[in-house]
Amino acid sequence: MRAAFIGSNSLTLSTAELLLEDGREVIIIERDRNRIDALSERIDAGFVHGDGTLPDVLRDAEPENTDVLFCLMESDQTNILAGLIGRSLGFARVVPRVNDPQFQRIAAELGLEDSIMPNRAVAAHLKQMLSGGKSLELSSVIRGEAAIFSLSAEETERGPIDDLDLPERTRVVCLYRNEHFFLPHEVKAIKPRDEVILITSHQQLPKLEQRFERSEAGDQLKAD
């Protein structure tokens, strides 16, 4: 697996180091030459010097040989722009970081279904800890052939949850509506723009991707 990152902030470096520990190839695109020189002594990654939002620079990262492009910079707008350019250049998968919910919706409408909201994820863990619960990584709970699939509901999904056309061994776990969390029994029906979280088996992912083809890969998590 080969992963490319735009920028070199703390989130990029933490993720890159974990991938390197697993023997993955990592490329970091960074505009600051001095920063590259310092990082090259710290981590065993490849580097591309330049602005990661420019097509010519992204081409130097070899989109045809890269499995995923992570756009994890601080600016939502920059991450979305870089993700769109990366997708147009042929990166197999682009993952932009988006912190503002309004940009999350825009990213989904633009087809950037793999966008992530790390701030919300951390906040949810902290809230759980404050309530006396333990903060668990999802990967420590979802094991074996189990997988998580996320979809952004459209008009065709409007209606009772039980009417959602799902393959076997697939269930709705929860949904988010206007950034609020609901369990299935707490809502009467799915509405457009609801984020619906499904649990399924890995074998069913192709059927889900075909059923909800607007999401090329969904937001999936397969246990290692």
Which of these three, 92, 121, 150, is where a domain ends? Answer: 121
Residue 31, helix vs strand vs coil:
coil
Which tokens in the block code for residue 20? Answer: 């390197």
Give 69's strand partners: 4, 94
Q: How far apart are CA 82 and CA 72, in angstroms?
A: 10
* Residue range 69-81, pLDDT digits in tens: 999 998 999 999 9
Report pLDDT for 11: 87
For residue 86, what are the domain limits? Answer: 2-121
Report pLDDT for 140: 52
What would the DSSP string read from start to end of 138-165? Answer: GGGTS-TTEEEEEEE--GGG-B-GGGS-
Q: Are residues 170 and 103 in the same domain?
A: no
Q: Are residues 147 and 115 in the same domain?
A: no
Conformational region of residue 129, where left means phi above 0, alpha means psi within -120 to 50, and beta covers everything else: alpha
Could you tell me if residue 45 is inside a domain? Answer: yes
Report pLDDT for 25: 96
Report pLDDT for 131: 57
Q: Are residues 111 and 188 in the same domain?
A: no
Burial of residue 26 (number of CB atoms within 10 Å: 0-12, 13-18, 19+) = buried
Q: Are residues 188 and 105 in the same domain?
A: no
Report pLDDT for 219: 41
pLDDT < 50 stretches in the chain: 135, 215-224
